[in-house]
């Protein structure tokens, strides 16, 4: 007897199937599509830094948006196996150690910094949320260093007691700060995205 499929699983399956059909390695690409449609984060010709880029969906989509005159660099602890276009590359590295490791991402500045990073989950919501916030703070530290004036920032965070203070902190660096949960996020997910527009 087949187990009934919940509406949530059907929704997730829809995006998973669509990602396969459109040759993206993960359904997360549709979150970036929604973010782009809503906030116009990326423009043609931009230089984009994609933090936690594996398996490569955001890097591939960002490369389409920036076009031939733009550039996308992704960094992750795991290699990206997808074939990337000429205007995109990935490097293996730990975002907590980019200075110690002399990461090539430090050699230039960017118009956009993206982070879809998530911690390895423990099942304890408070622990997972705290680890997610730690990743966001690391992403913001890089954005404060590498983003050009007027640049945009987007990061995923698990909602918890650290989310609001992080959002307030973004206001010191960006002219506008927004919060958004894409429709393509799983409904039970505690993830939201914070968007910083126009680095001061």
Contact 156, 180 (CB under 8 A): no
Active site residue 156: yes
Query: Could you give the CA distance from residue 84 to residue 104 in angstroms, rounded to a whole number?
Result: 18
DSSP 150: E
Contact 149, 178 (CB under 8 A): no
**Structure-token pair, residue 39:** 């906030």
3-state secondary structure of 101: helix
**Structure-token pair, residue 112:** 């956009």
Contact 7, 161 (CB under 8 A): no
Query: Could you give the CA distance from residue 5 to residue 179 in angstroms, rounded to a whole number?
Result: 31
Looking at 81, 156, 172, 190, which residue is catalytic? 156
DSSP 186: -
**Crossing angle, helix 29-39 and helix 57-66, to 10 degrees?**
40
Give catalytic residues, as residue numbers: 156
């Amino acid at each position: 007897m087949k187990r009934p499929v919940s509406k949530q699983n059907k929704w997730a399956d829809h995006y998973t199937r669509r990602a396969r059909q459109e040759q993206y390695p993960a359904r997360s690409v549709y979150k970036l599509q929604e973010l782009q449609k809503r906030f116009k984060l990326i423009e043609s010709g931009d230089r984009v830094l994609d933090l936690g880029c594996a398996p490569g969906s955001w890097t591939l989509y960002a490369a389409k948006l920036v076009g031939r005159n733009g550039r996308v660099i992704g960094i992750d602890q795991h290699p990206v196996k997808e074939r990337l276009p000429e205007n995109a590359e990935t490097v293996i590295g730990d975002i907590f150690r980019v200075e110690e490791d002399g990461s090539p991402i430090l050699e230039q500045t960017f118009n956009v910094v993206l982070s879809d990073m998530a911690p390895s989950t423990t099942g304890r919501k408070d622990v997972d949320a705290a680890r997610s916030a730690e990743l966001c703070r690391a992403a913001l530290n890089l954005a404060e260093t590498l983003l050009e004036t007027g640049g945009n920032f987007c990061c995923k965070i698990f909602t918890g007691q650290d989310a609001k203070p992080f959002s307030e902190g973004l206001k010191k660096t960006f002219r506008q700060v927004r919060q958004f949960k894409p429709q393509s996020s799983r409904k039970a997910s505690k993830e939201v995205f914070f968007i910083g527009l126009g680095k001061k």
